[in-house]
Amino acid sequence: MPALGTFTLLATFVVASYALAASIAGGRRRSRALIESGVGAFYMTAALMAVASGIIIHAFVTDNYAIKYVQRYSDVAQPLAYKITSYWGGLDGSIMFWVLLLSVFGTIAVASNRERHRELIPWVVAIMAATEMFFIFIMVVHNNPFDTFVASAPAEGKGLNPLLQNFYMAIHPPSLYTGFVAMTIPYAFGMAALITGHLDDAWLRAVRRWTMIGWLFLTFGLTLGMLWAYEELGWGGFWGWDPVENAGLLPWFTATAFLHSVMVQERRGMLRVWNVTLVITTFFLTIFGTFMTRSGVVQSVHAFGEDRWLAGLFSGFMILLLTFSFAYVIYRLPLLKSRHELDSWFSREAAFLANNWILLFSAFFILFATMFPTLSEAVRGQRLTVGPPFFNQWMRPIGLVLLVLTGIAPLLAWKKSTLSNLVQQFTWPVAALIVTGAAVFALGIRVWSSGICFALCAFVGATILQEFIRGASVRKGASGSDYFTALVGLVARQQRRYGGYIVHLGIVLMFLGFAGQGYKQEKDMQLNPGEQNSVAGFTVRHDSIAVTSDDQKQMITGHVTVFRNGKQLAQMAPARWFFAKHESQPTTEVAIRRAPGEDVYIVLAAYDIGTQNATYAVTVNPLVDWIWLGFGILAIGTGIALLPERAFAFAGARVPEGVVTTSLLLLMLLLPGVARAQTVIQKDALRQQLEGDLMCTCGGCLAPMNNCPMAGACHGLKEQREKVNRMIDQGMTREQIKAAFVREHGGVDVLSAPPDEGFNRLAWALPYVAGATGAALVGLVAYRWTRRPAMPDAPAAAGAEVPVEDALAARLDDELRDLD
Amino acid sequence: MTSKAIKIALTCVVLAAALGGLMYTTLSEGTEYYIHVDEVMQNPSAWQGKKLQLHGFVADLRQRPNSLDYKFDVQFNGKIIPATYTGVVPDTFKNASEVVLKGQLHDGAFAVEPNGVMAKCPSKYNPQSAAGS
């Protein structure tokens, strides 16, 4: 099998190089046959990579430890899901996964643009094939995931790092990779446009959608990374400005900039050089981010293996990439002339330009600060580092300015805003800003950045609300429908614009969460059983420490009860898990009680089983859940903006297409939840699990049923066993039986492990639920709306006849201009 | 056109100067010297009171009973600095583990600032440390 895998990789390399050669030759000679064969060869690479991936996954599932990579990242006891995700758990596999994604995305992009952008296709294929070749080359000569042990193969695997055996970690890297890889496609189209000189706006249309998809996945990946850090690492925060995190953030900034500036080019024919540059920079940063995290060039807590060879290869590729790309930009400068000039600084394009500058500055600032230790070492010979405070000091004001622009830019008119225009647009939002600011001050929140952030969130929220209300009333007046229908029609008709507003709303919610970090409180508490201590109005009482185990790990669980104002709020159970073969690195299982106002976040920091003394690190984290909720909203907004435009052109006829896309997108978001539910357990296994789940109630032994030191002599245990068996025979599930015991016993301390799954996941499911509800609502209204047989075709037709107020008339003009 | 170009150039220069100046001042406050124990011990007085990120291995780790006070030695290349810390430590913080400590050197002893202990964490791309045992 491994030989077949290596062979497949080599074959992919050969086929990719053929695709490259055939496409270049075909593009230059305008030979249809050659181009077609190049495209075919490119499709072939996707098929081959699928085969190679199948082989490695098969090796993981069948525990084939003859393969080094499998041996290093898997072991027999690992659950099946983690065996599969081990595929991208290490360097070699993650590169292979990268190539797989690129070939699949490339295939989709080529297939869907073949007819529309015929002249670009050979060059698009060539660029993507060349990128594939680079990564396959790395694998074949240096990091082959199919490498086998020369002598005898070990009998067991080392197992995936326990920290990575986490639900979010299983889906966070692929999401981030998907985002990274999707950015290759805009680059390929951009370069193809530069090479062929077809620099009209056609290539932008092909590219915009892919950038949006990539951007969505990047955001999703970054959010998951935050969630993972928050739930798994146990330091109470979610973003530490670690180089690995920053690497994902860099292209996010430039991609965000591009998504905005592309509008300026479409609308006003400006910023053409700028857009090409952004596409190139984004792609470059994805490669650079990969390089930074894999080559050990930055000293990081994550400390990647120093690997000069890999560093050299990557540097070479990056230099080549930059030279080649920018040489073409310079060569094509005459074709990239702007059609217009900036008319006024009070225009939307100016605001977008400012937003672009700031986003780009953010990207380079983070790049600079991340590389600073390396730079200072190179220049001064002394390694200087900059910590999170430095990043925060800069990124806080930058973030706030970006937030202001989020509110202002969409309200400005293209070309030039008049004064009356400004007054009309900004009265309410500014009022909201002032009221909230005063309220925040009155409430006594004295963290300046958080206070300003809250006020600005109100400002931006008000602008978005105002846009929706005004747009809907104009449409209502024009179409004569009811308010709600008008609102949906509005979103459907200009999904990019209103989808964008919804994305902004998501961003606002995320900022709320960031602002909450300004006044989080933490306290370390060392407690004997029965003792308690308080932080930020929450009282934590330490009850007991329990030791339990299952076939993969030993678990030490602290049981605590949390009170607020003397009322019991929750029983929580932070734990330490010692995975077999990784005993020296216990994982921290944080107990989190989620609430919209603030999370109570408890870590079992130290313990003494003998004296039952425990140390808890307790953090009260305000508003942090709004970040996850914000992402849910953002995803919905992006989904709306991504819907095929024609799906809504004639709402009646084409709604099903949009519905399909929406449901697919939502399904994608819901998948994790479904995957989680698929567990089939047999009775015997169930019995064993329950014996680990339930504490022995014989009294005093503080051990689970399967570990009771008094077993044999303990008759309470025997009765308890019989009871469990009866319940299993009655067909009760694990959760039901546990619940029954909790009911009977009168408290969760009969459980050995925290009952955290249900409650915690519920909170996390909130965005999904909100999303699904939203989608259902949209579907319902769309259905209702489509039943209206003959709808006058939009404000365009009716606008002139319907009497509307002056203010609204101006707005209508604006709307009309926005119609594509 | 030329006057416009001058205006733009001027704006850029002013902005760049402002940002550069700001960056320089904040940078000097925000930086910490990343340094190994043996480098410090070559000339300890030069590092007195400066913000350091001290890289080394933990030895002779002691914890005062029923407290979060730790005393230990940091060593690297045969040189040793005694250190103190109060607070929660990472799981991987124990004798012989590799750490980076944030803090300051005062009178030959290294005072680690709160949350200033960073144990070298296992990376998924680095088999040596991920393997653990």
**Average pLDDT of span A597-620:** 90
Asked if residue A68 has pLDDT above 80, the reply is yes
Q: Chain B residue closest to A390 (CA)? A: B30
**CB atoms B122 and A373 under 8 Å:** no
Q: Sort B133 into a burial class: Cβ within 10 Å, 0-12 / 13-18 / 19+.
A: exposed
Tokens representing B91 are 């799981």
Measured between beta carbons, the chain A residues lying within 8 angstroms of B32 are 384-387
The closest CB to that of B53, out of A372, A385, A526, belongs to A385
Q: Which residue of B has its CA nearest to A89?
A: B124
Helices A483-493, A448-479: axis angle to 10 degrees equals: 100
Two structure tokens written together for A509? 């919610």
Using CA atoms, how far apart are residues A428 and B106, in angstroms rounded to an integer?
A: 56
Tens-place pLDDT, residues A613-650: 898 999 999 999 999 999 999 999 999 998 876 555 44
Looking at beta carbons, which residues of chain B come within 8 Å of A373? 34
Q: Is A211 on the interface with B (CB under 8 A)?
A: no
Best mutation target, A290, A360, A385, to test chain B (most B CBs within 10 A) = A385
Question: Which of A164, A384, A393 lies nearest to residue B33, judging by beta carbons?
Answer: A384
Question: Rounded to 10 degrees, what is the CA torsion of A356, A359, A362, A368?
Answer: -60
- What is the per-residue pLDDT for A767? 52
Measured CA to CA, the distance from residue A393 to residue B28 in angstroms comes to: 13
Cβ-based neighbours of B33, under 8 Å, separated by 6 or more: A382, A383, A384, A385, B47, B50, B51, B52, B53
Contact B68 A526 (CB under 8 A): yes
Residues in contact with A710: Cβ distance below 8 Å, sequence separation at least 6, in sequence order: A696, A698, A701, A717
B118 and A301: CB-CB below 8 Å?
yes
Q: How many whole angstroms separate alpha carbon B32 and alpha carbon B46? A: 14
Neighbours of A343 (CB within 10 A): 13
3-state helix, strand, coil in chain A (%, to 5): 65, 10, 25
What residues contact residue B5 under an 8 Å CB cut-off, 6+ apart?
Answer: none
Mean pLDDT to the nearest integer, B100-110: 87
Question: How confident is the model at residue A626, as a pLDDT?
Answer: 94
Q: What is the pLDDT of residue A703?
A: 63
Average pLDDT over residues A596-613: 89
Buried b / exposed e along A363-387 (16+ C-beta atoms within 10 A): bebbbebbbbbbebeeeeeebbbbb
Residue A618: its H or E element: strand A613-622
* Cα three-residue angle A229-A248-B91, rounded to 5 degrees: 25
Compute the distance between CA of residue B15 and CA of residue B2 in angstroms, rounded to an integer: 20
Residue A628 parent element (H or E) = helix A625-642
**CA contacts within 13 A on the Cβ side of A358:** 20
**At A619, which helix (H) or strand (E)?**
strand A613-622
B18 exposure class (CB count in 10 Å sphere: 0-12, 13-18, 19+)? exposed
Q: Tokens at residue A309, please? A: 């060879």
Question: What Å distances lie between residue A332 and A174, A200, A264, A324, CA to CA?
Answer: 36, 12, 20, 12
Q: Which of A198-207, A533-542, A758-767 has the lowest mean pLDDT?
A: A758-767
Q: How many CB atoms lie within 10 A of CB A709?
A: 12
H or E stretch at B82: strand B79-86
Chain B within 8 Å of A433 (Cβ-Cβ)?
no
Three-class secondary structure of residue A487 per DSSP:
helix
Pairing of strands B109-119, B98-106: antiparallel
Percent of chain A with pLDDT over 70: 81
Residue A290 touches chain B, beta carbons under 8 Å: no
Task: Output the six-digit token pair for A51.
Answer: 């085969």
**A161 vs B contacts (CB less than 8 Å):** 122, 124, 130
Q: Residue A520 carries which DSSP code?
A: -
Residue A805 has pLDDT above 70, yes or no: no
Is the CB of residue A12 less than 8 Å from the CB of residue A99? yes
Output the DSSP codes for A345-403: SSSHHHHHHHHHHHHHHHHHHHHHHHHHHHHHHHHHSS-EEE-HHHHHHHHHHHHHHHH
Comparing CB atoms, the residue among A299, A304, A583 nearest residue B34 is A299
Which pLDDT score, from 0 to 100, does residue A763 have? 45
Decide if pLDDT at A10 tops 70: yes
Helix, strand, coil in percent for chain B, rounding step 5: 35, 40, 25
Of residues A647 and A235, more confidently modeled? A235
Phi/psi-derived region of residue A514, left when phi > 0, alpha when psi is between -120 and 50, beta in every other case: alpha
Contacts of A575 by beta carbon, 8 Å cutoff, 6+ apart: A555, A556, A557, A558, A589, A591, A604, A753, A754
Q: The complex's ipTM?
A: 0.75
Which positions 525-554 of A are in contact with B (Cβ < 8 Å)? 526
Over residues A438-450, the pLDDT tens digits come to: 998 888 777 888 8
Relative to beta strand A591-593, strand A587-589 is unpaired
Q: Which two tokens stand for residue A289?
A: 């981010």
Cβ atoms A395, A451 nearer than 8 A: no
Q: What is the pLDDT of residues B81-90, one digit of tens each?
A: 999 998 878 7
Cβ–Cβ below 8 Å for A584 and B126 = no
What local confidence, expressed as pLDDT, does residue A816 receive? 58
DSSP state of A231: I
Q: Do B34 and A158 touch (CB under 8 A)?
A: no
pLDDT band at A809 (very low <50, low <70, confident <90, very high): low
- CB-based contact, A393 to chain B, within 8 Å: yes
The reply to whether residue A387 touches residue B128, judged by beta carbons under 8 angstroms, is: no
Q: Which chain A residue shows the shortest CA-CA distance from B123?
A: A302
What is residue A51's predicted lDDT score, i.e. its pLDDT? 95
Residue B18 is predicted with a pLDDT of 85
What pLDDT is stored for residue A167 in this prediction?
Answer: 79
Contact call for A576 and B91, based on CB within 8 A: yes
Confidence of residue A790 (pLDDT cuts 50, 70, 90): very low
Residues of chain A contacting residue B34, judged by C-beta atoms under 8 Å apart: 299, 373, 383-385
Going by C-alpha positions, the residue among A735, A724, A728 that lies closest to residue A757 is A735
Chain B contact for A235 (CB, 8 A cutoff): yes
CB A481 within 8 A of CB A529: no
**Angle, to 10 degrees, between the axis of helix A243-268 and the axis of helix A272-295?**
170
Q: Do B120 and A303 touch (CB under 8 A)?
A: yes
What residue in B sits closest to A173 (Cα-Cα)?
Answer: B124
Q: What is the pLDDT of residue A681?
A: 39
